[in-house]
Structure 1
């Protein structure tokens, strides 16, 4: 027999016979009306869990990770405002059902069952996944996340204080709002959770406003691995800057009291709180989880005897708020309603085609106020003597710096964050003087944690800011890439375009940097980014392009709500010469602030019959190779892709018109590189003979062999000749 049915029968029998588990008496600030509303939400959540199992058994439901045992979260929701943004643990159905009662026009039973059934009428995901979430309830969707939502909760909480000082155009959160973030005891051990909580403490220790409530739902087990008794309390109750509050999550009165205290503290003191709720887990991890295979029967029977709904009914009866027979009627009426609604929903349509599924990968554009640009006086204040230097060609690093200045002048909602970007001005000086010109709250020197940097950006975007986070080196992205893959890129998809977290992620990367750090500061792999659906990847090769592409990236984030990754080739930051010493062949003038290179536009140099298709350092090296080839009588055209995702296929084909052969030059590794996609694309769409030269499948060495594994001007020229000479 399903444990859900066993718990159900035990609950009905207990209320029929008025036999309850023992526990503390009701006490605290909870009024009778609110207590009954909390119990109603708990009953809805419990019956939704049971219904989800019946739906799966009949082939009409597709998700059975329930919230049973965690119904105390309904009391947490009751203690908060519905405008307080909530990033929820996947066992928080009771929180969402309670918050639904706080906002007019929301039917939690129908909404949740639509999600279980993956119906296209599901109001949050449009049938793409069973997720908790609601635009009306200010709950961005979460799936079965393992702590990856904690960093963005920190960012959203930080944004509240900043928005009071610098109000973004698309502000969402209230000035006196707070952010809540819930997770399980097992998830608290994840490095992402530890890093996020540490960053919150780090900020609070320095008196940075951070109105955030962490809620740890401690049921003592993570799937099958038990949490050591006392571990959560010992781990978190003494952290600097973090207030610790504990409550019995089985007691709706005690939970409400503690949640009220936590919310008031965070709202008043603007500091993070750790709300520790002790709970039980009912039914196992999910419908397919047979807990009797790894737990003694006596253990989960004890949890079932401590059913929070039994405790709620007992407390309501003792307080005089609700008699047992009336509590049972609420429960049974809710069960009947869930069952009837499930039958109705089973006939509704579901997603069928790839187009249906992919429709929400890219968020909708949003209206933005027009920008007329800064005044001459403002530009002079920010640029100073650099205004005169604009008359002369400059390397990429300086042009990027100037572009960032103009962007920040034009868009007050743009905020930068990253390691060493403020006082130091970045490892390579790209962000020099920006903190002096715009202030430390718009150019944020972060702690050394890539997950926290990206989480800060994601969370701030939830409140209308346009973040430009920086990851110091491409190899360091791997510490945190799930913040892009699992959080930023998936948000529009799982919310049917209702939520977004636009940003422009700047990453110093790629190879050819001489004698500095080997692989960890020279990483020639973009594979980790290329397969993330929905994001834009840009890679400039020259300073003027870099400035104009960066402006387009900010436009894409601000107006089209896109997640953009802007990969800046480190080796080209200082590059001045192209062919000869002091020829200044790779420096350019700063393009006027209103000039952009549109997404999907490629660059073309020359019109020769041999086309070289490349990007980044490849364009620089191919330009050197082109002169060698020209001396041999072989004319070339160099096509700079610029936009690596989505691949500018139409523009590439147009640029190849008239070409007789195509050589792909890819500085990244043969396996997983852009060249693989380009070879497949040309094979499917272009009859012109083509070949590729790419880096070896190797990490990069330090010292004289720094470029040995990657294409060079000579190897490109050799490959071009070999291709041209092929019959």
Structure 2
């Protein structure tokens, strides 16, 4: 027999014979009927684990990471309200089952079995993944929650307090709600968990409301690596700003009592708490995992003897709530019922086509209240003396600052956050004066942790805000890219659009900063962003475009609930001149507030048909310089500024170059994995007769005079263009 069957038979035999494990007497926390309801939730969780393995063996089920040993989480659900948002560990079926019992109209066994079967009728993911989650139960789905959900739990908790001060239009969480996130003892060691815990404490000691309950389910092992005894307690008991609670997670009554104390502390004090529950893991990590291959058999058997269901039977009996014979009958009836329901669930339809799978990649549009733009009085108060300069040509950084001002005046849900964005006004001054204009609630100076910045944004987005986080430099994104890939972009996909986290992430990036910072401040790779399904990536090349594109990005996030990245070329922030010093040809005036550039709409400069130069960002600036030099040599070119890098405006691009004899792609990102690869494929598939590319080298960027040596230059574009046109002639 496998370990699951051994645990099952042990339960039947020991309850039937009265051979129950020793332990403390039931100590408050639950009435008799409440304890019985939670026991039923525990038993249903166990029965689902058993059935999921039988389904897998029959080829009808596809997920066997179970919750056996963690059934005490039912008591944590009992301690919370069903409108308290819960970001769950993947072993928390008992929590979801117990919460479903608090909300009328739920069919939790059926719903979870549809998930095991990957049926398209699964109400949370539609068959895309076996996930815990439910919109009705306020449980956003997680994919593989190895602590990656903790930063957004911090953000959600912060958003509860912020919404009390500044209620957003699409507010989801009650003002007195709390947020909860659960995770294992192995996950606590992940940098993501440590960053989130640190951020929660850092925020709390500043007396900022952060009603968050961390729940660590400590079963002593992560897959096969054991956690040192006492490690979790030692590392968490004295964390500043976070109150520590601990309970025996095998004891239903103690867990309910201590969880209620922890939840009451968080709800009353609006401060974070850490609930440490000692548990056991039964069956191993997943169906294919054999714990006896890496643990002594005696240790495995000792944990099986400590089965929390056996403890619950003992406690219920001692409390006079349920006799062991009745507890055994509930177990047997539940197992039989789950098997019967599963036999029907496996017959339900599954996803079949790519279109089916991708149907929820893009979140649904939502109705938003109409906006007429900021009033003249509001603009005059916010802009002050700047108002008189709106018609004067300005560089990109200044125009972006004004665009952010107008957008924050118009959309009260917009909140900016990041390192140095507030009082300092950003490293490059793009957010100057915004802190004075809108206050600390909407201009949040964060701690230096990109994971926490993005987690804050994701959590705020789930409570109706329109977050605009800033990552100081593109290279810093790599510290936190999974918050975009594994959390933000997947949320609508795995919830069928029932949960969303719209945002506009601003990133200062790309290369060509003269002699400053090398690779860390000149990063010319966007591959990690273009590889995320559903994410929109925008990159302006000049100030007027930047303003109008940023307005469209905000509209996409607000009305279409999209995750948008707005990549701002650092080297072009201060750019004033194009061809000659003092010509001011790269500055622009501030576009009227009602103008924007639509998603997928490229720009075109010139109408020459000899050559189309396709580029973006700094490349568009250099291509404009090259265009003038080429005209002097008899080549009449046009410059196509892509503006939108994901999804690429392929149809618009093909149309824009259709009447040109040749096409040159100029890509400041690297040859391998760069944007040009996709552009060249697009042109080839469209049958473009003559095209070539000029890209950056596959290299990091140097500091000092060689800052641009590995990237395209205006003269290099001219040479490549002449070679392409000349070869054809």
TM-score, reference length from structure 1: 1.00
Q: What is the deviation of 1:144? A: 2.0
What is the Cα deviation at residue 29 of structure 1? 2.4
1:708 is aligned to 709
Q: Do the aligned residues in 2 keep the contact of 1:124 with 1:135 (CA within 8 Å)?
A: yes
Q: Which residue of 2 aligns with 1:693?
A: 694
* Counterparts of 2:709 and 2:581, CA distance in 1: 22
Is contact 2:145–2:183 with CA below 8 Å preserved after alignment?
no
Does residue 683 in structure 1 map to residue 684 in structure 2? Answer: yes
Give 1:30 shift. 1.1
In 1, distance between residues paired with 2:515 and 2:590? 29
Aligned partners of 2:380, 2:83: CA distance in 1, in Å? 41
CA contact (8 A) 1:659 1:688 kept: no
Secondary structure of 1:182 counterpart: strand
SS state at 1:348 partner: coil
Indicate the residue corresponding to 1:295 in structure 2.
Answer: 295
CA distance in 2, matches of 1:112, 1:2: 23
Conservation of the 8 A alpha-carbon contact between 1:536 and 1:565:
yes
Distance 2:478 2:608 in 1: 40
**TM-score, length of structure 2 as denominator length:** 0.99
3-state DSSP of counterpart to 1:133: coil
Distance 2:109 2:312 in 1: 20
> 1:516: Cα distance to partner?
1.1
1:449-488 alignment runs, 5 A limit: 449-488=449-488
Aligned equivalents of 2:22 and 2:687: distance in 1? 76
1:471-497 superposed Cα distances (whole Å, 9 cap, x missing partner): 000000000000000000111111111
Give the C-alpha shift of residue 665 in structure 1: 0.3
Q: Runs of 4+ in structure 1 displaced over 2 angstroms?
A: none
Distance in 1 between residues matched to 2:207 and 2:37, nearest whole Å: 37
Counterpart CA distance in 2 for 1:24 and 1:620 is: 74
The superposition leaves residues 6-61 of structure 1 with CA deviations (integer Å, 9 ceiling, x where unpaired) of 11111111221122000000012211111111000000000000000000000000
User: Would you say the 8 A contact 2:55–2:61 is kept in 1?
Assistant: yes
Q: Shift of the alpha carbon at 1:349?
A: 1.0
C-alpha displacement at 1:325, in angstroms?
Answer: 1.1
Partner of residue 617, structure 1: 618
Deviation at 1:87, TM superposition (A): 0.2
Do 1:364 and 1:497's aligned partners in 2 also have CA atoms closer than 8 Å?
Answer: yes
Specify the SS of the correspondent of 1:384. helix
For the 8 Å contact 2:523–2:701, the answer to whether it is kept is yes
Distance 2:694 2:145 in 1: 40
Whole-angstrom CA distance in 2 between matches of 1:461 and 1:395: 31
What CA distance in whole angstroms lies between the structure 2 residues aligned with 1:172 and 1:106?
20
Superimposed CA distance per residue, residues 342-383 of structure 1 (whole angstroms, 9 cap, x where no aligned partner):
111111111111111111101000110000111111000100
Distance 2:211 2:409 in 1: 29
**For structure 1, which runs of at least 5 residues remain unmatched after alignment?**
none
Matched residue, 2:2: 2
For residues 196-249 of structure 1, give each alpha carbon's deviation from its aligned partner in whole angstroms, at most 9, with x where no partner exists.
000000000111100000000000000000000000000000011010000000
Q: What is the alpha-carbon distance in structure 2 between the residues aligned to residue 392 and residue 687 of structure 1?
A: 41
Aligned-pair CA distance for 1:687 = 2.5
Equivalence map 1:340-359=2 (5 Å): 340-359=340-359
Q: How many residues align?
A: 727
Q: Tell me, in whole angstroms, the C-alpha distance in 2 between the residues paired with 1:61 and 1:445.
A: 47
Q: Are 2:584 and 1:587 aligned?
A: no
Instruction: State the secondary structure of the residue aligned to 1:417.
Output: strand
Answer whether contact 2:245 2:276 (CA < 8 A) is retained.
yes
| 1:143 CA displacement | 1.7
Work out the CA distance in 2 between the residues paired with 1:12 and 1:223: 27
- SS in structure 2 at match of 1:19: coil
Q: Note the aligned Cα RMSD (angstroms).
A: 0.6
Which residue does 1:264 correspond to in 2? Answer: 264
Secondary structure, aligned partner of 2:140: strand
Q: Shift of residue 126 of structure 1?
A: 0.2
SS of residue in 2 equivalent to 1:135: coil
CA distance in 2, matches of 1:33, 1:551: 55
- Measure the CA separation in 2 of the matches of 1:530 and 1:133: 28
User: In the TM superposition, what whole-angstrom CA distance separates every residue of 1:633-670 from its partner, at most 9, and x where no partner exists?
Assistant: 10001000000001111211121121111000000110
Partner residue, 1:633: 634
Q: Distance in 2 between matches of 1:687 and 1:709?
A: 28
Q: Does 1:337 align with 2:337?
A: yes
Q: Distance in 1 between matches of 2:727 and 2:77?
A: 71
Aligned position for 1:651 = 652
Runs of 5+ in structure 2 lacking a partner? Answer: none
**Alignment partner, residue 604 of structure 2:** 604
> Equivalent residue of 1:545, what SS?
helix
The separation in 1 between residues aligned to 2:398 and 2:642, in whole angstroms, is: 23
Indicate the residue corresponding to 1:83 in structure 2: 83
User: Contact 1:116 / 1:130 at 8 angstroms: preserved in 2?
Assistant: yes
Q: Secondary structure at the match of 2:663?
A: strand
SS of alignment partner, residue 704 of structure 1: helix
Q: Distance in 2 between matches of 1:370 and 1:622?
A: 40
Counterpart Cα distance in 2 of 1:549 and 1:299: 61
Match of 1:309 in 2: 309
- Quote the Cα distance in structure 2 between the aligned partners of 1:619 and 1:722: 19
**What are the equivalent positions in structure 2 for 1:547-566 lying under 5 Å apart?**
547-566=547-566
Residue of structure 2 in register with 1:195 after alignment = 195
Which residue does the alignment assign to 2:109? 109
SS at match of 1:476: helix
Q: Distance in 1 between matches of 2:3 and 2:449?
A: 43
How much does 1:428 deviate? 0.1
CA contact (8 A) 2:29 2:254 kept: no
Q: Is the 8 A contact 2:474 2:521 kept in 1?
A: yes
